[in-house]
Amino acid sequence: MLTRALATQSPLLDIDEPPPYGAINPDGTSDMLLLCEHALPRIPRRLAHLGLPKSERLRHIGWDIGALSLARDLSARMDAPLFHTGYSRLVVDCNRPLDNPSLIPETSESTIIPGNRGLNAYERTERLETFFHPFHAAVGRRLDLRRTAGKQTFVVGIHSYTPIYKGVARPWHAGILYGKAAEFAGRMMSALSQEGGLEIGDNEPYQIDHDDYTVPVHADARGLPGLLIEVRHDLIASASGVAEWAERLERCLRLSMERRG
């Protein structure tokens, strides 16, 4: 934990800046808990944009474009709690384990992040105690409350990805990423396949592995069904695209959760 002196002498957030995470409809009645770990491109004032121009901060290396809008829409449609991060994953990536090199990336894709280079242990701890730990502690508390109340919980992360990565086109419209929850993921992929005209990735364009935190910790380790939904970001970059995918995912999630046995 940060010492009182550290927290007092070197706060990363000024008093007028937003908190490190947001909780929307935390008491929602849905069986689903929504998470959005790459929600916003915001960087604390004191980190001076991490030395990056606006054009870099606002592209996909800084956040999952459209993901928070989609998560908010789903939360409203399904009366689901939603927890989301308040700052860029370039500050600290809340879907990375603590020992992962990309937790506070010095390079993202081919972009050097000047403000992340050469951090000392104190500076890294400050980032984690300000952003990473408060977000995950809030999620953990909510899951504990739901367990104590005897509520079923499906943990669902909402993400987006680029149509092209390092020159390679990605053919999927969306992907379902999962670890232990193969049954839940299979139902979700089956439901999406019935929507027509979609190519859905099975643990594509990524896999749940040692580079991930949310599903392994908040779902698999608790014995809860959990997965990440990745939507290609050009499909949810507009309000109409978000609405279309929110309606589609609502149908498919309701089907997938109802068929538990």
- Bigger pLDDT: 4 or 90? 90
Taking the alpha carbons at both ends of the chain, their separation in whole angstroms is: 41
- Average pLDDT over all residues of the chain: 93
Instruction: Provide the sign of the torsion angle of the four alpha carbons 47, 50, 56, 59, taken in this order.
Output: negative
In this predicted structure, what is the pLDDT of residue 260?
A: 52
Query: For 94-142, how does the pLDDT look when each residue is reduced to its tens digit (9 = 90+)?
Result: 999 999 999 999 999 889 999 999 999 999 999 999 999 999 999 999 9
In this predicted structure, what is the pLDDT of residue 149?
A: 96
Please, which pLDDT band fits residue 1 given cuts at 50, 70 and 90? very low
Burial class (CB in 10 A: 0-12, 13-18, 19+), 74: buried
Domain, as residue range, for 38: 4-258
Q: What's the half-sphere exposure (Cβ side, CA atoms, 13 Å) at 83? A: 24
Cα–Cα separations (whole angstroms), residue 41 to 115, 121, 143? 15, 24, 26
Quick one: tokens of 38? 């790459």
In this predicted structure, what is the pLDDT of residue 159?
A: 97
Instruction: Provide the sign of the torsion angle of the four alpha carbons 133, 134, 136, 138, taken in this order.
Output: positive
Examine the pLDDT at 201 and tell me if it is beyond 80. yes
Gap between the Cα atoms of 65 and 112, Å rounded: 20
Gap between the Cα atoms of 155 and 71, Å rounded: 13
Please, which pLDDT band fits residue 229 given cuts at 50, 70 and 90? very high
In this predicted structure, what is the pLDDT of residue 85?
A: 98
Gap between the Cα atoms of 14 and 4, Å rounded: 16
pTM: 0.93
CB 214: neighbour CB atoms within 10 A?
25
What's the mean pLDDT in 154-165?
93
Cis bond before residue 205 (omega within 30° of 0): yes
Nearest by Cα to 175 from 203, 135, 207, 210: 203
Examine the pLDDT at 2 and tell me if it is beyond 90. no
**What's the number of domains the chain is made of?**
1
Q: Which CATH number goes with the domain that contains 210? A: 3.40.630.40
In this predicted structure, what is the pLDDT of residue 5?
A: 38
Query: For 28-51, how does the pLDDT look when each residue is reduced to its tens digit (9 = 90+)?
Result: 999 999 999 999 999 999 999 999
Examine the pLDDT at 261 and tell me if it is beyond 50. no
What letter does residue 223 receive in the DSSP assignment? T
